[in-house]
C-alpha cells in the first residue's frame, strides 16, 4: 500500500546565495576561498529541519575563457568545491539527509562515476543521489580539449548510454556478494555472484566489474533537470526527481501533468517521479520586512559593467529598452524559452528581465511572511504543480536560516511537512522503490 503523498524539500546552496549580488551583501563578510565548515553547517541545518536532500550543483568550467576574467571578477557565484569530494566530507558529519551531486556526463567515464557514487552511497549509509546533466558550454569544452562539442541531441544520447552503463556496473555484483567470506575454504566471495559487464555501444565500450560493492540503495537516486522536449522524455524514462523551473502555477501544473503522463506511457509508476521545482524565497516576520530585504538585495546588482543574458553580451542595447532577439544556444533551452516568453508577455526591458528572471534563475519567487510563503507551497502541492521544492534562497546563509526558523514550523503546523525522518536511506525517505539487480530479470 502506498503511503500518503508527502511534501519533499531539498536545499540547494551556493556559496553566498543564488542572487547574483549576494556576495556583496553586508551579512556576507567571508572571503571567496572554499570553506568546508560553511557547507557542513548548512547541511546540518537542513538535516535539523528534516529536509530530504542537500543538493550540490556543479557548474563545471564556469570560470570561463581567459577573455572572461574581467567580467567574472565581478561575479561571486562561480567558485566552489567539486560536489562528490564535498559530499563525502558532509556525509561524515550528517546522518539522515540525502546527498545529491551534480555530475556532467560529458567530462567523465561511466566506470569512474559509478565507482564514485557507489562509494558515496556506502560512505553515507545509503544517501547518495546523482543529478545527471549533459550541458556543455563552449569554454568548458575548451577546458577539456573538445574541438567539436556534440549537439544537444547527441549529448542526451551519450547521457542515456552513460547512465545505462553505470547501472550495469552497479549491477555487476549481487547485493550480498561480500556478506559471507568463507575463511575455511578460502573463498572470499562466490564467483556466481559476479556479473561481468560486456558493453559495446555507440559512445562507450567497457568490459569488467566495478571494484566496489553494489550501492546500498541499489542505484543512487537519479535526478534530472532538463526542460526541453528531449530532457522531459529522458526524465520520464529514467529520472526519479526533477529539478524543474516554473514561474507560475499554471505552467507548473502543465509540466507536472506532462511528465507524469510521459512516465505512464513509458510503463512507469508516475508516483516514482517527484517534481520539485526551484523556489526562490525571501522570508521575514512580515510581508513588508521581507520586501525591504529583497529590495536591498536588488539594489546591489551592478549594471554598470555590462549585461550578459544566455551567454550573449547585450551591453550594446539600451538597458531600459526591450529584449532583442537572441540565439537560443546549446544549453538550457527550456529555461531560455521561459525567459523570452516572460519578457515578451510582460513587455519587460532588459533591466526588468534581469531583476525578474536572472535573480530567481527562472524559478517561482516568493517574498513575504511565513504564512505567505507557506500558502504558495501549499497551493502548488495541493494543486499538483509540485511534489515539493528545491529551496534556492537568494541570500545565504541568512535566507536559509530564516526559512528553517519561520517557514518549516508553519508547514509542519499545517500537516504538510514531516517532523522526523521515516527511513534509513534517501530512497526510503522519498518513498521511492529500491531497484533490483537487472541481471535477475
The per-residue DSSP string of 323-384 comes to PPP----SS-HHHHHHHHHHHHHHT-BHHHHIIIIIHHTTSEEEEE-HHHHHHHHHHHHHTT
- What is the domain extent for residue 156? 8-281+365-440
Closest by CA position to 220, among listed 381, 106, 87: 87
Q: What is the CATH number of the domain that holds 431?
A: 3.20.20.30
pTM (two decimals): 0.89
Q: Which residues pair with 9 in a beta bridge?
A: 389
Assign 121 to helix, strand or coil.
helix
Q: How confident is the model at residue 395 (pLDDT cuts 50, 70, 90)?
A: confident
Q: 309 in a domain, yes or no?
A: no
Q: Give pLDDT tens digits for 95-130.
A: 999 999 999 999 899 999 999 999 999 999 999 999
Question: Does the residue 307 lie in any domain?
Answer: no
Averaged pLDDT, 50-54: 98
d(CA 414, CA 121): 33
Which of 17, 25, 97, 11 is closest to 56 using CA atoms?
11
In a domain, 350, yes or no: no
With H, G, I as helix, E, B as strand and everything else as coil, classify residue 207.
strand
Strand order in the sheet with 241-242: 274-275, 241-242, 221-224, 128-133, 98-104, 53-56, 8-12, 388-391, 278-283, 364-368
- Give residue 77's pLDDT band: very low, low, confident or very high (50, 70, 90): low
305 located within any domain: no
Mean of per-residue pLDDT scores for the chain: 89
Read off the pLDDT band of 16 (50, 70, 90): confident
- Residue 227 located in a structural domain: yes
Between 360 and 216, the more confident residue is 216
pLDDT band at 33 (very low <50, low <70, confident <90, very high): confident
Q: Is 87 exposed, middle or buried (0-12, 13-18, 19+ CB in 10 A)?
A: buried
* Strand bridging mode 205-208 / 197-200: antiparallel
Asked if the model's pLDDT at residue 321 lies above 90, the reply is no
Q: What's residue 26's pLDDT?
A: 80
Q: Residues 275-319: pLDDT tens digits?
A: 999 999 999 999 999 999 988 888 887 776 667 776 677 877 888
From residue 155, alpha-carbon distances to 125, 133, 134, 136 in Å are 32, 9, 6, 8
C-alpha to C-alpha distance for 256 and 334, rounded to whole angstroms: 15
Q: How many domains does the chain fold into?
A: 1
DSSP-H helix ranges across 92-151: 110-124, 138-143
- In a domain, residue 293? The reply is no
> Distance between CA 362 and CA 270 in Å, rounded?
25
Estimate to the nearest angstrom the gap between the alpha carbon of 269 and the chain centroid.
22
For residues 236 and 238, give the distance between their C-alpha atoms in angstroms, rounded to a whole number. 6
With respect to residue 1, please indicate whether it lies within any of the assigned structural domains. no
Q: Is the pLDDT of residue 331 over 60?
A: no
What crossing angle do the helices spanning 152-170 and 110-124 adopt, rounded to 10°? 50
Q: Is residue 237 part of a domain?
A: yes
206 burial class (0-12, 13-18, 19+ CB within 10 angstroms)?
middle
Amino acid at each position: 500500500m502506498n503511503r500518503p503523498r508527502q511534501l519533499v524539500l531539498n536545499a540547494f546552496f551556493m556559496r553566498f546565495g543564488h542572487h547574483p549580488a549576494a556576495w556583496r551583501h553586508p551579512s556576507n563578510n567571508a572571503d571567496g576561498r572554499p570553506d568546508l565548515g560553511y557547507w557542513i553547517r548548512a547541511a546540518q541545518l537542513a538535516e535539523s529541519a528534516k529536509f530530504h536532500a542537500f543538493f550540490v550543483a556543479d557548474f563545471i568550467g564556469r570560470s570561463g575563457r581567459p577573455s572572461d576574467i574581467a567580467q567574472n571578477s565581478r561575479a561571486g557565484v562561480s567558485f566552489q568545491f567539486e560536489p562528490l569530494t564535498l559530499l563525502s566530507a558532509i556525509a561524515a558529519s550528517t546522518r539522515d539527509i540525502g546527498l545529491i551531486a551534480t555530475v556532467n556526463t560529458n567530462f567523465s567515464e561511466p566506470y569512474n562515476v559509478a565507482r564514485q557514487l557507489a562509494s558515496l552511497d556506502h560512505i553515507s549509509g545509503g544517501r547518495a543521489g546523482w543529478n545527471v546533466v549533459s550541458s556543455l558550454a563552449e569554454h568548458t569544452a575548451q577546458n577539456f580539449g573538445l574541438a567539436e562539442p556534440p549537439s544537444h541531441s547527441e549529448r542526451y544520447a551519450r547521457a542515456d548510454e552513460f547512465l545505462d552503463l553505470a547501472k550495469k556496473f552497479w549491477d555487476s555484483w549481487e547485493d550480498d556478494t561480500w556478506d559471507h567470506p568463507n575463511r575455511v575454504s578460502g573463498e572470499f566471495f562466490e564467483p556466481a555472484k559476479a556479473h561481468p559487464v560486456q558493453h559495446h555501444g555507440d559512445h562507450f565500450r567497457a568490459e569488467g566489474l566495478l571494484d566496489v560493492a553494489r550501492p546500498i540503495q541499489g542505484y543512487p537516486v537519479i535526478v534530472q533537470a532538463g526542460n526541453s522536449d528531449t530532457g522531459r522524455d529522458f526524465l520520464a524514462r529514467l529520472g526519479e526527481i526533477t529539478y524543474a523551473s516554473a514561474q507560475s502555477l499554471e505552467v507548473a501544473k502543465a509540466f507536472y501533468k506532462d511528465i507524469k503522463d510521459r512516465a505512464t506511457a513509458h510503463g512507469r509508476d508516475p508516483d516514482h517521479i517527484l517534481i520539485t521545482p526551484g523556489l526562490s524565497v525571501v522570508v521575514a516576520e512580515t510581508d513588508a520586512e521581507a520586501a525591504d530585504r529583497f529590495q536591498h538585495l536588488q539594489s546591489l546588482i551592478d549594471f554598470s559593467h555590462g549585461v550578459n543574458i544566455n551567454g550573449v553580451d547585450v551591453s550594446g542595447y539600451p538597458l531600459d529598452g526591450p529584449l532583442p532577439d537572441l540565439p537560443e544556444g546549446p544549453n538550457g533551452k527550456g529555461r531560455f524559452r521561459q525567459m523570452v516568453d516572460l519578457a515578451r508577455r510582460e513587455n519587460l526591458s532588459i533591466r526588468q528581465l534581469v531583476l525578474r528572471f536572472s535573480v530567481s534563475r527562472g524559478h517561482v519567487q516568493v517574498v513575504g511572511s511565513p504564512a505567505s510563503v507557506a500558502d504558495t507551497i501549499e497551493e502548488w502541492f495541493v494543486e499538483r504543480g509540485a511534489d515539493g521544492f528545491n529551496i534556492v534562497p537568494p541570500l545565504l546563509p541568512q535566507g536559509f536560516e530564516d526559512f528553517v526558523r519561520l517557514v518549516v514550523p508553519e508547514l509542519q503546523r499545517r500537516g504538510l511537512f514531516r517532523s522526523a525522518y521515516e527511513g534509513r536511506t534517501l530512497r526510503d525517505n522519498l518513498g521511492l522503490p529500491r531497484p533490483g539487480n537487472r541481471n535477475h530479470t
